[in-house]
Amino acid sequence: MKENFIVFPAIDLRRGLVVRLREGDPARQTVYSPSPADTARNWIDAGAAWLHVINLDGAFDQPDAANRNALQSILNGVHDTGRSVQFGGGLRSLRAVGEAFEMGVNRVVLSTLAVERPALITELVRQYGSERVAVSLDARDGKVQVHGWQSATTIQAIDLAQQLRDAGLAWLVYTDISRDGLQVGLNLDSTHEIAQATGLNVIASGGVKSQADIDAARRMGLAGVITGRALYEGAFNLNELFRDQIRKDDIS
């Protein structure tokens, strides 16, 4: 069983609002809050040690100033709590990653960059350290998709995960796109396979339905789980969900 298993509440930002999409489809959107900062505070007060914040407009190559402002408001509220934020979406250059860290992000989550410019992963790990850089492999039928899940590749997720491990990566998010936002249960078989094949700290994402999904991921030795729609729609006892989560992590 993984020590320090982490449950990451997802805060997906679109036009400055907290939303969730079904299977990553921007036409299938539900708005959950007009205030990302208040949402972040709710999850922190409930016991979350980390937040998983995604700039959907950046991922879709759309104007994202509202989301940047929302991210800063989240970070301002988290700053003195001892909690941490990992952030992704539209981070496709060294400059963009550097700007995220300057804002106060604890860990960046990269996706398209890892596929299109994989050599930069090694450089980013060297520059910032392996605890501060994660890659999200977002797959449909085992094949990676990029640009906000809108563009398919022929790359097998497990093959890319092994290459990323060899590049020095320590943290990986694996999302089964076909389950994301549908509350049909995690694809734990594929997620566990990647964790076993690579030895990476793998965070499961996509389709969390209930506490049983969280508990199964914990038993499998995964590093954590990202949950969105199920959390926002009240599927959990928050005291149970975030048990043992209130702690200060050793990255800043």
pLDDT of residue 104: 97
Which residues have C-beta within 8 Å of that of residue 176, sequence separation ≥ 6? 139, 140, 186, 187, 190, 191, 205, 206, 207
pLDDT of residue 80: 87
pLDDT of residue 250: 43
Regions in the chain scoring below 70 on pLDDT = 1-3, 23-24, 147-151, 178-184, 246-252
pLDDT of residue 181: 52
Catalytic residue among 12, 57, 64, 180: 12
**Nearest-5° Cα angle at 151, 147 to 152:** 130
pLDDT of residue 184: 66
CATH superfamily ID and name for 6-241 = Aldolase class I (3.20.20.70)
Q: Is 153 exposed, middle or buried (0-12, 13-18, 19+ CB in 10 A)?
A: middle
The answer to whether residues 134 and 128 touch, using CB atoms and an 8 Å cutoff, is: no
Catalytic residue among 57, 138, 176, 180: 138
pLDDT of residue 140: 82
DSSP string, the chain: --TT-EEEEEEEEETTEEEEEETTEEEEEEEEES-HHHHHHHHHHHT-SEEEEEEHHHHTTS--HHHHHHHHHHHHHHTTTT-EEEEESS--SHHHHHHHHHHT-SEEEESHHHHH-THHHHHHHHHH-GGGEEEEEEEETTEEEETTTTEEEEEEHHHHHHHHHHTT--EEEEEEGGGTTS-S---HHHHHHHHHHH--EEEEES---SHHHHHHHHHTT-SEEEE-HHHHTT-S-HHHHTTT-----S--
Whether 215 is catalytic is no
pLDDT of residue 30: 93
Q: Report the alpha-carbon distance of residue 213 to residue 131 in Å, rounded.
A: 25
pLDDT of residue 3: 60
Whether 80 is catalytic is no
Every domain of the chain and the residues it spans: 6-241
